[in-house]
Structure 1
Amino acid sequence: MSFIEGFGIGLAMIIFVGPVFFLLLNSSFQYGIKAGVSVVFGIIVSDIVCVTLCYYGLSSFMTVSQNQFWIGIIGSCILFGLGINYLLKKAVIIEGVSLASKKLSTFFIKGFSVNFFNPFVFVVWFGVFKYGQQKYEDTTSVLVFLIAVLAGILTTDLLKVFLSEKLKRFISADRLKIFFRVTGVVLLIFSFRLAYLVW
């Protein structure tokens, strides 16, 4: 029961359209499935870190307003840099690209940092963790619940990657350029909004 509920909550998180969503789609559109999957694993590893912090009682450190301020400022700077990058980025559709492990690690780091340095991710996980603790009395059920939430998020993120790969055939260089510019503007908006909210 705890797994089914947790997995359902993880799937439901598909409704959250944040900066990682645009990073994920852009990476998949331009560099293919491997790049997108690398971003996904960066996101899920950062989520695992958040869950671990909650489990070991360190979530209070992350939810202190002063700490959230600095986490938010770092996240805002990362989003600002990525936003400028996408505004200036050339739209090139790369076919049959072979990415080196170093390149894949770059996508992993992007996914991890954009997700991890967003204080609202910690707030969401803190809420999910507290809900699991209140709903299930034994530790095993809580762990199963949290693992299931992570599995649900991983499933939806991987689906986004594979669907974007299917849509890639309909993406021309001109359309990709527009998508890059839109993504750049959206990331800049997220950057300013995050800085404003934590200020």
Structure 2
Amino acid sequence: MVWTGWKSLVFPLVTLALPAFLTRPALAQTEISPATGPTGLQACGDPKTKFDVKYTDGHVAIQPVDGMAVVVVIEDDSKFASYPKPVTRVGLDGEWIGATRGNSFTSFVISPGEHHLCASWQPQAALGLPGATVYKKMSRRSSVQSLHAQPGGVYYFQIKNVYFLTDISYMLEIHMDAVDKDEGELLASDRKGSQATKK
């Protein structure tokens, strides 16, 4: 499920960076239980929550966990034609659990069962520039996916952030999809891990 759109612009758009979400390497994460109430419409957290994001030193190994499941979320900004790149918050069952920034990934451990994932750009002040209102609207875009996790499973999701600007319009899109294990391992192997702390 994706929220996308086109609108006309009458002023230049300034794209600013967005901070990201709290994550730890998969083997060191807090256990997250199956969803008891939230659905895809409630997968995201508080829209006002913000994160600072840093890259981890070196590549983070992703290993299955006995009796638990691991989720790996990979951000792809190859079609985001602006800099700095967005910070993308990752939500699970109605709570933000971390964030990514640029071409990076994060991983976390969850308990088996039904879960609902959300990807959403973090709000960013536009320093009073004409594009401020437009950019705030962009930051409300989200994408969601459901997951039925099995013990010992490793699940990969790719978030594609898209942005381009023409003389008369712009396109902004965030899209999250599940990818198979082989593709996920390949994508993650070429990226740094992200570590996010809540502001």
Larger Rg: 1
The reply to whether TM is greater than 0.5 is no
- When normalised by structure 1's length, the TM-score is 0.30
Of Structure 1 and Structure 2, the greater strand share is in: 2
> TM (normalized to structure 2)?
0.30
Greater fraction helix: 1
